[in-house]
Structure 1
Amino acid sequence: MRIHFIAIGGSAMHNLAIALHKKGFQVSGSDDVIFEPSSSRLARYGLLPEKMGWNPDNIRPDLDAVILGMHAFTDNPELLRAKELGLKIYSYPEYIYEQTKDKLRVVIGGSHGKTTITSMILHVLNYHKKDFDYLVGAQLEGFDTMVKVTAEAPVIIIEGDEYLASPIDRRPKFHLYKANIAVISGIAWDHINVFPTFEEYIQQFDLFINTIEPAGKLIYCQTDPVLNNLVNKSIAPVEKIGYSIPEHEIVHGITYLLPEHTALNVFGDHNLMNLSAAKLVCLQLGITPEGFDAAISSFKGAAKRLELLSSRGNTNVYKDFAHSPSKLKATIEAVKSQFESRKLVACIELHTFSSLNKNFLLQYENTMDMADEAIVYIDEKTFEHKKIEPFNNLDVQTAFNNRKLQFFNDALQLKTYLMNINFNNTNLLLMSSGNFGGLDLVKLARELNT
């Protein structure tokens, strides 16, 4: 098979390109810019384009398929040539389905927890030496790539994003996988640039339920009222299996599953909820409850999800991917509940299109109330890049309904402020889908005054 990737440098795209190369396909690709770690990974397998930019001559009549990434525009010259030649053009989720339609497909959807649930399932299957393919949205410890597609594996575990499939396919990605077993972790409005109303956003999950193969299974969080209502109304011909927080206890900062008293490396109600979903999936895949518990006890968490950067004395510093209102609130509550006797300094960088929308910003009301000190950072360059009118201190305090909240738009000023806090018996939580203006968070964690 000869496959060409337009916009090969994307996170999922370059991993799929590597996976198909390993499968024995002839893979080529192009992009106008490729950042790390995509560049090094592609180079390692001889897949890095010799020149950056688009070239219609890359599109030959003998190509079996062209895979189009979101980074490309609809007037991309390579895309136009592919259309002119009548070649088959796929989005990457379409091609994942094409390669796995004879496998059992497990698709993890939801506004939050997708990566963690998927990672937990992969960890357990790997622990028990099961053969499986996967697509996950983060680089995981013990896994060489974020995508694996083989001819032999009988099952694939897919993290199903609700964002659009490609520039010419406006369907959400998770609609295209046609799950045999589906998970919905919860519904909290996101991607307002694509789904401008909450009703439109909810509809995507209703449509997702209807894409599940007949007689398939839907595993869902029954404590989410919006999701619970949606599932109860659905007439899709699927088995519905609800889950909630499992029985547990916290002793000296460690969470234990009950009644077996299984010690966990992860914590927080949201992670326990994710664990329940992962366990139900694994039961469907032939893992016993005892086998799941034995494996999950060594799960350390997905990258950037409550990742421990530093632990010294009675001070922990965590990094987390939280950015939406629901994720922010859940992450703060998790750290505060796990260490009730410690103060919590919580700092979030607002970085996404949704979070920088002045109307959507109101969704953050009271989300940081459990933090002893709340800090919001927005890189002033982000406003320039996204061509959005900047927020001021009052805008942010009003939206979060927190007059004590500290607001920064300069990374060095934020660092100086943090360095002057006494972190004795205090945890620091740094949350962002960005990079805090280029701050070295690991170095910062080590240098904090404790």
Structure 2
Amino acid sequence: MPAHAFARSRLDELSHHQNLLLLQGPNGPFFKQVADRMRELGANVAKVNFNGGDSFFYRDSSSIRFDESIERWPAFLRLLIEERKIRAILLFGQCRPMHRVALSVAREMGVSVVVFEEGYVRPWWITMETGGVNHASQLASAVPAALPIYPQVQRPRQFRWAFTRMGWYSFLYFAAGLFGRRLYPHYEHHKPFRMAEMFRWLRSAYRKHLYRSMERDIIAPLLDTYGPDFFLVPLQISTDSQITHASGWKDNGAFIAATIRSFAAHACDSDLLVFKHHPLERGHSDYAAAIHATARQCGVAGRVLYIHDGHVPSLLKRSKGVVTINSTVGLQALYHGVPVCVTGSAFYARPGIVEDVGMDDFWQEHVEPNRKYFTRFYRYMMHTTQINASFYVTSSLRTPRREIGRGVLMRFAGAGAALLLFGSGEAPSFVERSVAWLTYALHGL
């Protein structure tokens, strides 16, 4: 079976639950597409919207607006499950407050919860697991030597412009959340709905091109076969639930400082330490000052580098090892046979794959993963939790003809409807209305 057909069949299996409830999905129209497909297969679908961004991307008669305080959410959800005879809940982002409540209520009422997440193997995959993902995944208790043997993973179907659309959909989501906040007065997003957040996404696009030219001379030696030895440290998003819920680190800053101090005290004098900024944080944060200050204090200023770009697989292949909190870059490293030091809780840190070695010892005692165990674990993970699709490229779930049918005029019509919806209550300013028209009119282009 071709990879794209297998992906479609995996998603189609959700219709067997018959009565589905969708909560928050990834930024963009993905959950709306899933709902449409489930209805084609005969399932009943309802969707709860919690903010203007949810409402903008899921405008449907089946949507239910929850505009009360989170204290009211458990009772609201229990009643909804009973009335609609819900058998499965679909959500993205298991650690969001309303989703943590949903997981608890679902366990209490015997309802399945299907959790979506960005692909463990990126960029051509998405994750779909029952019960939880990442540190809550069933993979976190897997014993590689005891797993069934699966065949080689087929070459995935690739999707153009996925990263660009993800940034654009995120911009639109925050714009809609900002202008629709009067309709959802009690909602608090994990990244506040403020005008500044929208412009951070624009700044991210600018910085991407800026750093690409600025860092070319820094990255080139790292990719050179005869270049210096180095350890790679992939940073995660500062608000990542993997840091706040699955590690002992307070934030990225604490992790960075501890890593530099450990490196300075225990690594070989000829080794370099390379911090790689997360691509989705370009417009939100910059750790240059903190990294350079700590490196100077520890006497390793010339041996610590900080980059924002660079082809990660190529950097991994050249590195001596990877130090991470629990980033899925660690999984990529293991795929390339690179030793990994995990300082948080990661589903892939299984016996025989990731050595139980502390950071101080890792610089000198890193051990390559057991290839046999990793291959068995990797193939099991790919066949049971990964789907070859994209949250952000609509053709991954729909035929291109249908996608083309969503024309520019429809987008402008949707823009007017959305602006009327989000402009209710106290009238937005002229600037707000102008930005709203621009963002909504360009939705999906």
Same fold, TM-score > 0.5, yes or no: no
Structure with bigger strand share is: 1
Structure of greater relative contact order (alpha carbons < 8 Å, 6+ residues apart): 2
TM-score by length of 2: 0.32
TM-score by length of 1: 0.32
